[in-house]
Structure 1
Amino acid sequence: MLALTVVLAACSSDKGNNTPSNGGSNGGNNGGEATKPAEDGLYNIKDFKNVKTNEGEPIKGGSITYGLVSDTPFEGILNFNFYGGNPDSKVLQWFDESLLTWDANYVYTNDGAATYEVSEDGRTFTFTIRDNVNWQDGKPVTAEDWEFAYEVIGHKDYNGPRYGQDFTNVEGMTEYHDGKAEKISGIKVLSDKKLQITFIKSNPSLLTGGIWNYPLAKHIFGNMEVAKMSASKEVREKPIGYGAFKVESIVPGESVVFVKNTDYWRGEPNLDKVTLKVINPTTIVQQLETGAVDLISDFPIEQFPDNAKMSNVEYLGMIDRAYTYIGFKLGSWDKEKNAVVPNPNAKMADVNLRKAMALAVDNDQVGKRFYHGLRWNATTLIPPSHPEFHDDSNPGFVYNPEEANRILDEAGYKKDGEFRTNPDGSELVINFISMTGSDIAEPLSRYYVQSWAAIGLNVNLEMIEFNTFYDRVGSKGEDDPKVDVYQAAWNVGIDVNPQNLYGREALFNFSRYASEKNDELLTKGMSAEAFDLNVRKETYNEWQQLMVEEVPVFPTLYRAAVVPVNKRILNYAIGDGTNLYLNQLAVSQDKAFVATK
């Protein structure tokens, strides 16, 4: 993977880059001199830079502490082929990586652990893994390991979130998955380090994240039952990768100690050790000020204004590949068919009810008042981190409670006292779940509940920690029937293709929405004609509008990532295409700088 990206792989585009989340630009600040807000007190992410200023010279060795900011333990599924949540990706990034890297435009390069060539028809890719790419136990990373990852994910007993359209597009994958073939015909091992994959259809996403490129060590997992792999000690307790650092010890859910991988293919890392520990958002400022942590995964944006002048850090910032959203449960997941099953009788099945709820919330004010401009009103489901495809002319849902009331009145949701009833006169109680986390997680969720109450909807709120939350919305294929509406977030992949979040065969399609028009547009966006950039733009603009009309979910906020970095840290950046890698990470002194008042 590109080094030091804030977000890593999980499930889409890069077959791992869309991850459930808890809640680069020019210019910028210098050291502790944080960017000043405008007269209205709002900040602008364009005023930040995404590459750390180097102050001083690197010392030999050294160790740092990395804070994984979370109010809950990380789940501990520490293998790219199986994990599903963003906290685990923060652990994975230190000891493992993808075989391919990408540039600032999200296009695969030949600078990674593997290089590639493409046939004239765009269907066959030939990959060559570099000779010096080895697992951290000394065994070489081979083409068979890469093939083995496809075989495991495509196996009928696989219990992770990866299997979807990008896999079924591989020749012979469906036959293998259905038990009609022992091997995947479209994957050929040409030599120890050379793999060939042939896809059924060429599509524009194959060069921008649509190829799974995380191998699975066959010499470790080869004799293991597929159904038992994700729970094995080789995933949970003694994970292995080929990244810059290797796991020395784990306290499950709490901390990990990494030591440098002297055999790392890009070169021996500068640092000797990295200690990762989970830190509650409520204590992160104290940990930063005292130098107890040097780097962190996420900084609670709402805490930035009061700490913008922290003297021992430099704040980096960028438009995040992420958005928060409200989702409506419209069906369930069929584990046998690996597909969404829409339920026309679901409580939230009426599009009028969903539209009214979207119109009732003022996300422009939420961004300003809760996040000081560093999160802002989201309009469509392709965020501005993908400017070629984000339709900035689409207004999405503009706050309009009067229109929301009119829609509900006309749809037959009559007021019976304080709240409305269903059109048939029965009681309407909507169950809404949201995640715990920062200090404002619950106040924000309660704002939405109050906004819906203002249009006569009786909504019950339940706050849940991260791992349990995603279990209940269906991350393991089991949908909690008590959940009607949920507030969640996506760290989106480098590939703009929305299929793996909103397609009929996408486990991460937690709303369980499906329609023929959605199928048509998602298929067209991945067709041969979509190699024409204008065709693909038009297709995804139409899809963004369809999502506004159908409202299976509606985006609430686009996000800025603002990351404080201790001044002793050298060679660090956030975002894509910076050409800085983890082995280059260094420090200018043994101990972290401490903030001065």
Structure 2
Amino acid sequence: MNKKKSFTLASITLSAGLLLAACNSSTTGGNTSVTGKDGKLDTSKFPIMVSSNKAPIKGGTLNYGLISDTPFQGTLSEEFESGAPDQEVLQFVEESIFSTNKNYEITNDGACTFTIGSDNKSITIKVKDGVKWSDGQPLTADDIIFPYEVMGSKDYNGVRYGDNTITQDIVGMAAYHAGKAKTISGLQKIDDKTVKISFNHVNPGLLTGIWSYAMPKHYFKGVPISKMATSDQVRKKPIGFGPFEVSKIVPGESVEFTANPNYYKGKPLLNKVILKVVNPQVVVKSLQNGDIDIAEFPSSSYKGNENPKNYKYIARLNYAYSYIGFKLGHWDAKNNVAVADPNSPMANKSLRQALGYALDMKTISQKFYQGLSFPANSIIPSFFSRYHDDNIKGYTFDPEKAKKLLDAAGYKDIDKDGYREDPKGHKLVLNFAGMSGSKVAEPLAQYYIQAWKAIGIHVQLLDGRLQEFNTFYDRVGDTGKDDPKINIYAGSWLTGTDPDPSGLYSKTSLFNFPRFVNNENEKLLQEGISAKAMDPNYRKQVYDQWQQLMFDQAPVIPTLYQYQVYGVNNRVTGYTADTASLWWYKVGVTSDKPATANN
């Protein structure tokens, strides 16, 4: 399964705390729902694109708010970044080599065209004339091949190789990755602008899951792959062939972009974009004051701000979900595989299921999120309407059922202190890791803890506090080092546009943070990308079985699906929440000064 906020088709990255960054403690009473009885967003309140009767001016500067309570990491390369904040920075610089249609399938309208082989086991990619990197060098076939050589190398220290089954399936990639071959035999450079990629197997996700970014080989000349992630080319002066180029970086805080004079689609409407980190607690004021023109809007701040004067709301159903995860094992970095720990406190699935039934996500979605999220029943989000299984009941609020599950599994309150001991009669105290990010991050974490206390399970906050975004994922296992103190954690994923969930739940994926190991899971994940799965009906059957398996086994409990809402200043034109049709060179402003709440 893939994640990106804009045009990323083939990589999974971490969401920037969508759940915890979207809460507001002022929303503790009442409800201003923006959804209808069917639970769907009222699109009359939230269109998908801003419109204006005024023409955009020539040039101008747009201020973009990156909403976060923590600095962005600054790993500014699609091949190495692993968090949504860095990807928000990259969207102005690194553009996909392909465009996509409304179904998020690649098309020939971008920087490259493609043809699929008659056997569905190869793709030929051709770079269009006039496509140049921002330093003026042409985009070449070598730049299409280079990211595969980087990600597949045994010296690569990023997360992209293990999260994409299509990349791993390239002919010769396994031997190259193991250090047994110096080149990848399935990558054929036909000429300076044309590459043919051959695969071992047919994969139904080729049009939505192929790696879709080039990497400037000339720019990284002399930089060892093992040192690329920390190089100046990634950290200080990344280049791309997108509509803007980086002119200034204040690490972790802001980035100034200027129009790329070499952009292949023509001069952008804007001369400059200034991106700055904005704390979610001040985003409303920042929009009202005109300090920022565009920002993802915390849904919990909607109440009391339903009718803004100087900005509009746009929104879409996000390809995302939040979840509660359970640590079942650890990552074996030597063999790049998850290993189950049978003695893990979370190994008993009845305990995991009970913790899921203890949570009232319907009430949370209404009181904290104003209806801009709704309870999740499956870890294939409803965004994937073809493959999402509505028949999965999900972990609906049922504390009595939770108690019965615990009783039957042998969790008893032996010493009558209000908390259950484990089936062996030992004290059971579980550590919960949550992210900071808003005024209600703490109250929400405390809600989980109290809900679990109500069924007799003693859960405490890890280290007595919430973790900031980067620290949280380091400890959960983003670097392959699982903190043994963590038993339960709350996270969220932007899945991207490919329904294949292998990159999050296969035992060979680093992003399988629960370290879930299950033979049936592996079998179904492979069936979902098999040649037979070219038939969408068959693939649907496989993913229905997989969703049921994950519901039964409960390595994670999906909690909420989300609508992605943006606040956009009245002077902005051409901006859309639909990533399939967002082209930054078409975004402009109708005046030099932003509209404010007072003018």
TMscore range, shorter length? over 0.9
Q: Residue 67 and residue 576 in structure 1: after superposition, are their counterparts in 2 closer, same or farther (change >3 A)? A: closer
How much has 1:217 moved relative to structure 2? 1.3
2:13/2:83 contact within 8 Å kept: no
Whether 2:16 is the aligned partner of 1:21: answer: yes
1:581 maps to 583
Match of 1:223 in 2: 222
Shift of residue 37 of structure 1? 4.5
Q: How does 1:411-450 map to 2 (within 5 A)?
A: 411-415=409-413, 416=415, 417-450=417-450
CA distance in 1, matches of 2:12, 2:229: 19
1:490 and 2:499 matched: no
Q: Taking structure 1 as reference, are residues 474 and 39 closer, same or farther at Cα in structure 2, changes over 3 Å only?
A: closer
Quick one: percent identity of the two aligned structures?
Answer: 44
Q: Equivalent residue of 2:580, what SS?
A: coil
Q: Distance in 2 between matches of 1:424 and 1:38?
A: 47
How far the C-alpha of 1:43 sits from its partner, in A, is 8.5
Amino acid at match of 1:281: P
1:467 corresponds to: 470
In structure 2, do the counterparts of structure 1 residues 107 and 526 end up closer, same or farther at CA, with 3 Å as the change threshold? same
Residue equivalent to 2:309: 311
Match of 2:175 in 1: 175
Q: Which residue of 2 aligns with 1:476?
A: 479
Q: Aligned pair 1:535/2:538, yes or no?
A: yes
RMSD, aligned α-carbons:
1.7
Any unmatched runs of 5+ in structure 1? 24-34
Once the two structures are superposed, what CA deviation does each residue of 1:434-456 show, in whole Å capped at 9, x if it has no partner?
11112222211111111000011
| 2:35–2:42 CA contact under 8 A, matched in 1 | no
Alpha-carbon distance in structure 2 between the residues aligned to 1:479 and 1:37? 39
Q: CA deviation at 1:18?
A: 4.5
Cα contact 1:9–1:16 (8 A) shared by 2? no
Q: Secondary structure at the match of 1:117?
A: strand
Provide the C-alpha distance between the structure 2 equivalents of 1:17 and 1:246, rounded to a whole number of angstroms. 24
Deviation at 1:49, TM superposition (A): 1.4
Q: Distance in 2 between matches of 1:390 and 1:359?
A: 21
Query: Does the alignment pair 1:513 with 2:516?
Result: yes
Q: Does the CA contact (< 8 Å) of 1:6 and 1:575 recur in 2? A: no
Q: Shift of residue 36 of structure 1?
A: 7.9
**Structure 1 Cα separation of the partners of residues 587 and 42 of structure 2:** 25
Distance 1:512 1:247 in 2: 38
Measure the CA separation in 1 of the matches of 2:567 and 2:124: 41
CA distance in 1 between partners of 2:167 and 2:274 (Å): 35
Contact 1:78/1:235 (CA < 8 Å) preserved in 2? Answer: yes
Any conservation in 2 of the 1:43–1:372 contact (CA below 8 Å)? no
d(CA) in 2 for partners of 1:272 and 1:254? 21
Q: What is the aligned partner in structure 2 of residue 293 from structure 1?
A: 292
**Structure 1 counterpart of 2:133:** 135
Q: 1:37 to 1:475 in 2, by over 3 A?
A: closer
Partner of 1:72: 70
Q: Is the 8 A contact 1:359 1:401 kept in 2?
A: yes
Q: What secondary structure sits across from 2:475 in the alignment?
A: helix
Residue identity opposite 2:586 in structure 1: Q
Q: What's the secondary structure of 2:304's corresponding residue?
A: helix
> What residue identity is the alignment partner of 2:427?
E
**Partners of 2:314 and 2:4 in 1: how far apart?**
11
Contact 1:9 1:80 in 2 (8 A): no
TM-score normalized with structure 1 length: 0.94
- Find out whether 1:100 has 2:98 as its counterpart: yes
- Residue equivalent to 2:360: 362
Please name the residue that 1:563 is paired with. Answer: 566
Deviation at 1:215, TM superposition (A): 1.6
Aligned counterpart, 2:83: 85
Given that 2:328 and 2:514 are in contact with CA atoms closer than 8 Å, whether structure 1 keeps it comes out as yes
1:247 and 1:258 in contact (8 A); partners too: yes
- Note if contact 1:104-1:576 (Cα within 8 Å) is conserved in structure 2: no
The correspondence for 1:44, drawn from 30, 41, 50, is 41
Q: Tell me which amino acid in the other structure corresponds to 2:531.
A: A
Match for 1:399: what amino acid?
A: F
Partner AA of 1:274 in structure 2 = V
2:240 counterpart of 1:238: no
One-letter amino acid of the structure 1 residue matched with residue 158 of structure 2: G
Tell me the distance in 2 between the aligned counterparts of 1:421 and 1:133.
Answer: 64
Identify the match of residue 547 of structure 2 among 531, 544, 548: 544
Counterpart of 2:398, as a letter, is N
Question: Aligned in 2, Cα 1:180/1:43: closer, same or farther, shift over 3 Å?
Answer: closer
Question: Residue 38 of structure 1: CA displacement?
Answer: 7.2
The letter of the residue matching 2:231 is S
Q: Which residue of structure 2 aligns with residue 26 of structure 1? A: none
Sort the Cα spacing of 1:489 and 1:119 in 2 relative to 1 into closer, same or farther, 3 A. same
Distance in 1 separating the partners of 2:402 and 2:43: 34
Q: Helix, strand or coil: the match of 2:522?
A: helix
Q: Is the 8 A contact 1:45 1:374 kept in 2?
A: no
The answer to whether the 8 Å contact 1:173/1:184 transfers is yes
Amino acid at match of 2:422: N
Matched AA of 1:117: T
